[in-house]
Structure 1
């Protein structure tokens, strides 16, 4: 599905007119119509506004996923995202090593909590 069709579908599902969305975006209904027909590129700043308005991800808006929202409600902190990026760059062997190391750390932490709580 082309993303311009998706923005039209979202608008129609929300029972909004092009005029209402245009007012929200700070543009005209004619421009909204052109975005929805694929006759005009949707500026990134307006794509962000639409994603926020419809409470969907930019990936959904762009047609990169068919899941409109994060299905698990997970938000990832910047530091965790950095760790994930580094993890995905590892070889499979090193991913396995890292997973073993994390298991060991988790077990040690659990044991320390048990020790503290029993004192």
Structure 2
């Protein structure tokens, strides 16, 4: 997926028009359209502003290799970075708690009654 396709998808996921996104970035709807059609490539600064608006990471937005960033949610990425900086014992405790919460969520989903 190229950057234009990713901008379209992220914008539509947010329910924004090109003009609404443009207003947030201080540009125009036609410029957003040109980005989405890959007629123009946003500058690094604009790409960073797009990533911020979409609450994702810059690497997720611009990765054209077909490999998506493992973590596209910026808030989640910040949490992972914070955990990474903890000492080993605290990191182990937090990961054990996360693992048990994930296990419970998966079990709940697996045994949920269809509506």
Fold match, TM over 0.5?
A: yes
TM-score (norm 2): 0.60
1:75 to 2:75 alignment: no
- Say which one has the larger Rg: 1
Contact 1:11/1:17, CA 8 A, preserved across alignment: yes
- Find the counterpart in structure 1 of residue 111 from structure 2: none
Please identify runs of 4+ aligned residues in structure 1 that moved more than 4 A: none
Q: How many residues align?
A: 80
Give the RMSD, CA atoms, in angstroms: 2.5
Consecutive unaligned residues in structure 2, runs of 5 or more: 90-115
Q: How far off its partner does 1:4 sit?
A: 1.2
1:6–1:63 CA contact under 8 A, matched in 2: no
Matched residue, 2:10: 10
Tell me the alpha carbon deviations over residues 11-33 of structure 1, each in whole angstroms, 9 at most, x when there is no partner. 00000000001111111100000
In the aligned structure 1, how far is the partner of 2:9 from the partner of 2:26?
20
